[in-house]
Amino acid sequence: MRWRSLRLKEGDETQVALAIVQTSSRDCGVYGCTITNEYGTDTTDFLLSVDILSGMFLREDQEVGEEIEMSPLLFTKGLADSGVWGSKFFGRIMMEEAHIGEGCSHKACRVKVIYGLEPVFESGTTCYIKVKSPIAYYGAKEESNLVERNLAITQQECRIQNIAREYCKIFAAECRVIGTFGEALEVIPVHLMYRPANSIPHATVESDLKGVYLRYCLMDATGRLVMRTGSEAALKCCALQHWILQWTNGNLLLTRMEGVDFKITNVGISIKSKGYQSLTITENPNVFEQFVSQHQCNSYCGLLSLRSLKTQDSLQTPAKPKGSRSPLLHRKMGGSSSPQPSRKATGSPRLIRKPAQPEDSKATAKHKAIDVPNVVRS
């Protein structure tokens, strides 16, 4: 069972609606609406049958394709940047397969690019379009409310996966300097697509991954974190989760990762505190406790010199935020941009000796000598 919730203020009589994207026979069933307030709870049901569904829509002509707009999300100022939308691509796509997968939270379809999306997608190649479904929104008779809600959700999903991609770029750069690590993970980019011919016009678009599609990490219906460890890619996904958790001082965790081999998509993120990384998702501190208790460091965690989460106090006390430089600049500077410990030698405080001086200044000198910043080995 899937829940979509909306909160209304006292006295607000605005109608509430539920939009089902790319409706098909898979969506048939009983839909319920429950209202809960201080006076109690009331529920009503609606049966969406195949007969009702067949009378709602006419079959669309999919032979000629459709005109679309596509916008990439760019991070020009590093990870502290919330991202800016790049120049639009104007092209045409044609539906190849209307319903892909068995997921409940999104409707996905495979389309062929006819023209206009180079160099992101070459003409003749296929890509995936995904739309969040169903969508709960205010104002059942106001289509603009649905479109605005659809746009906000889609932009947030682009931001989530592309933020994860930026972190993974840094992770991959660290992995490449370790000769025995093997192939590094890559979170593929997703772009914002606008389809003016659709009543729910905004969607994400991404590359069509060829091969066996697997779920490496997910959250089940009860909110429990489920992690796979049966393959090299799955173990590296666990190491990536551990690495990002340390890199962000325990503030951000990847809670959903799927894909083919080392190409990762459909990324989900949880944050510990509201507004972290400019994300508007609801904070979920409980999942961080779950990960710390469940995670078992593997050989890839060891290659990256990651510390055990069971004894790491640094995740409990957030350190000074890191700079907002891009991953490329982090690689050039060689600073504390990764969980690998610094190999630079540091002088021992005990070696600092000064001639006799007044007690106050002597105490001050001693304090300065031993007050070494507590850098998180993230």
pLDDT 10s digits, 192-238: 999 998 888 999 999 999 999 999 999 888 888 998 888 999 999 99
Q: Which domain holds residue 49?
A: 16-303
Is 90 a domain residue? yes
What is the mean predicted confidence (pLDDT) over 285-308?
A: 93
Is 355 a domain residue? no
Is 369 a domain residue? no
Is 131 a domain residue? yes
Q: Which is nearest to 37 in space by CA: 13, 2, 1, 18?
A: 13
Cβ proximity of 18 and 140 under 8 Å: no
pLDDT at 13: 63
Is 159 a domain residue? yes
Residue 31: strand pairing partners: 46
pLDDT at 92: 94
Is 77 a domain residue? yes
> Given a cut of 90, is residue 265 above it in pLDDT?
yes
pLDDT at 20: 66
ω into residue 201 within 30 of 0, thus cis?
Answer: no
**What total number of domains does the chain contain?**
1
> Given a cut of 90, is residue 116 above it in pLDDT?
yes
pLDDT at 103: 61
Is 144 a domain residue? yes
Q: What is the mean pLDDT of the chain?
A: 78
pLDDT 10s digits, 3-53: 555 666 666 666 666 666 656 666 677 777 777 777 777 777 776 776 666
**CATH code where residue 197 lies:** 3.30.200.20
What is the mean predicted confidence (pLDDT) over 119-139?
A: 84
Is 309 a domain residue? no
pLDDT 10s digits, 49-61: 766 666 555 444 4
The number of beta carbons lying within 10 Å of the beta carbon of residue 215 is 15
